[in-house]
Amino acid sequence: MPVASRIKWFFYGLKIKIFGGERRNEEPKPRNKKAGQSLFLFFFMLLPVLQFLIFYVGVNINSIALAFTKYEGEKAEFALFENFDRVIKALFVTGDLKLAVKNSTIQFLTGLLIGMPLQVLVAYVVFKKTPLSGFYKIMLFMPNILSSLVFVICVRVLLYDGLPSIFPNFKVTQYDSSSFYAVLIFGLWMNFAGGLVIYLSAMCGISKDVLEYGELEQMSSFKEFWYIVLPSIFPTVVTYIVVAIAGFFTNYGHFYSFYGASGTGQKPYDTLGYNFFVKVSDSRDPKNDYTFAAAGGVMFTLIVAPLTLLTKYLLEKFGPSED
């Protein structure tokens, strides 16, 4: 055997003794495989847990502490449920939040019963590529192209100067309910594009085979929408409904952009979200307002969390499905 081959085999044998033979075809041991799967699942679940701990517990830990705190001068003391008692009285006894609850309910129902159905229907019109569907997309996307504050300024000028000069009887002031409904309609328009994109994307994901079957069966547009499109995008609809319920107590619309925190006492455009936002952002009595808002936030969370889970369960169980 040549010297070069002997040297080669010597080093190969040395390698086998030190590192062991090659095990390319050897399957991993079941124990190692199970450990790898457990490790993967651990890190997979670690991210949402960390997000919850950081962005909910970490962010709100001070609010939770404030909910059980009261101030005597500069001294902070444990208040037990005193702040919660103040919130409950404002809701049911003194009526300080009565108008805010009413307006929040109107805002929620308007978005749910008017805004969302219109978004779905317009998305279906665009999906079917009907005449002027491109024009609809441009007009409805305009609020998202420019800053919302630009549109707020334009609409304020239109409501307070433009329309009254054309129609003398037209009047919108921030001191009566007309201000609430004007901004509510503005909010529907501003939020339209987001829902339109989501629903249109969901419709574009429907199988072409299913749509072609409807064409072969000569289904009308209404039947196609009701029996094919709506069941196919219903999980997206459920998500929007759940998010809307979760935001019932926190959605302050565009009222702060229009009116800021001007004035004192109850305002005709008060909502729960706006009322509590102003207590924190423009507080005139920080110690009392912060503890009041913190207690309200904790209480509203305890109400809305099981409500959203129950709504999601009922919609998924009894709502339409693709089957």
- Identify the pLDDT of residue 160: 86
Q: For residue 83, is pLDDT > 90?
A: yes
43 or 136, higher pLDDT: 43
Q: What does the pLDDT read at residue 32?
A: 67
Which pLDDT tens digit goes with each residue over 261-315? 765 557 888 999 999 998 888 887 888 889 999 999 999 999 999 999 999 999 9
Could you please report the per-residue DSSP string of 273-313?
A: HHHHHHHHHS-SSHHHHHHHHHHHHHHHHHHHHHHHHHHHH
% of the chain surpassing 70 pLDDT: 88
Give the pLDDT of residue 273: 92
Provide the pLDDT for residue 7: 63
For 188-225, the three-class secondary structure string (H helix, E strand, C coil) is HHHCHHHHHHHHHHHHHCCCHHHHHHHHHCCCCHHHHH
Has residue 59 got a pLDDT over 90?
A: no
The pLDDT of 77-99, averaged and rounded, is 91
For residue 185, name the pLDDT band (cuts at 50, 70, 90): very high
* Listed residue (153, 107, 143, 146) closest to 257, CA to CA: 153
* 144-148, 209-213, 318-322, range with greatest mean pLDDT: 209-213
The pLDDT confidence band at residue 16, using thresholds 50, 70 and 90, is low
Q: What are phi and psi of 32, to 5 degrees?
A: -65, -40
Residue of higher predicted confidence among 16 and 239: 239
Q: What local confidence, expressed as pLDDT, does residue 178 receive?
A: 86
Q: Which of 20-24, 36-40, 261-265 has the lowest mean pLDDT?
A: 20-24
Residue 291's pLDDT is 92
- Mean per-residue pLDDT over the chain, rounded: 84
DSSP state letter for 252: -
What is the per-residue DSSP string for 11-78? Answer: HHHHHHHHH----TTPPPPHHHHHHHHHHHHHHHHHHHHHHHIIIIIIHHHHHHHHHTEEEETTEEEE
Q: What is the pLDDT of residue 20?
A: 55
- With cut-offs at 50, 70 and 90, classify the pLDDT of residue 130: confident
3 state DSSP class of 174: coil
pLDDT at 212 over 60: yes
Torsion, CA 170, CA 174, CA 178, CA 182, rounded to 10: 90
Q: Flag whether pLDDT at 110 surpasses 90.
A: yes
